[in-house]
Amino acid sequence: MKAIITATRLAHDLNGDNPPVLLDVRWQLSVVKAAGAPDFDGRAQYAAGHIPGAVFVDLDKELASAPGERGRHPLPDLAEFGTAMRRAGVTATRPVVVYDGGQGWAAARAWWLLRWTGHPDVRVLDGGLAAWEGPLSTDVPAPAEGDFEPVPGAVDLLDADGAAALARSGVLFDARAGERYRGDVEPIDRAGGHIPGAVSAPTNENVGPDGRFLPAEELRARFTALGASGEAEVGVYCGSGVSAAHEVLALAVAGIPAALYVGSWSEWSSDLSRPVAVGPDPQ
């Protein structure tokens, strides 16, 4: 199973005998904005135009549970996640394609959750909606109820203790921007810095200017140079388990399996007992 799909291939598959279920997960990270600036509204963006047949999925409400001690985007309640996926028409026998506005983070979060809960065939539209060259629709589909029943554990998941251990025994990538890894700035969470032993690997360096993933061989060379030689286990975290899912996706494109620390820095930094490293050195 491939992890990503081109817009050309998606258009072909949508006209095939077993078209994929299509999920629109447009979302942006909310940070402090200028006074009066409205929050990003993914549902409104979807209503204004989406790939025909796509069903909107709300990342904050359906792909995560409420923020708290487990981070800003902890795992969703599995029963609620399953209900949302069946509402969108997800079944065990049809492929699923997920897209967002182009950044790829939100689509990767949905991709990872579906994989973690056992869906056998889910891909992300490479480049997101910006790569789509076909028409858009404002019609809201009413798909037949799906039958997907999420069963967690199909791919590896890290908790805080597991991430700390992996930073010592294997390779733990920090997918955030370098300045947040170093602790130069921290616009969201309690403290700046990184998990001791983690290696800085900003996820935005996995894509080209058009938002599409770099070729698999280039990604493999990048991650190998950062320590993912194939001999050690690999894990990824970010701020709240969203952009890290995008890095797990990039690693999958490169042929390197990786675990996700969903709680990520938002969980780690909120626990005063956890150590914090600052500066460019992993330790």
Residues that are catalytic: 238
Where do the H-state alpha helices sit in 135-263?
A: 160-169, 178-182, 216-225, 243-253
Contact 245, 268 (CB under 8 A): no
The CA-atom distances, in angstroms, between 75 and each of 53, 97, 128, 159 are 27, 21, 23, 11
Q: Which two tokens stand for residue 105?
A: 């983070």
At a CB cut-off of 8 Å and minimum separation 6, what does 79 contact? Answer: none
The phi and psi torsions of 114 (rounded to 5 degrees) equal: -65, -40
E-assigned strand segments in the chain: 4-5, 21-24, 55-56, 96-99, 122-125, 157-158, 171-174, 199-200, 234-237, 259-261
At a CB cut-off of 8 Å and minimum separation 6, what does 154 contact? Answer: 115, 116, 117, 118
Contact 170, 180 (CB under 8 A): no
CA dihedral 231, 213, 176, 259 (to 10 degrees): -40
Tell how strand 4-5 and strand 122-125 pair up.
Answer: parallel
Instruction: Spell 246-268 as b/e; 16+ CB within 10 A means b.
Output: bbbbbbbbbebebbbbbbbbbbb
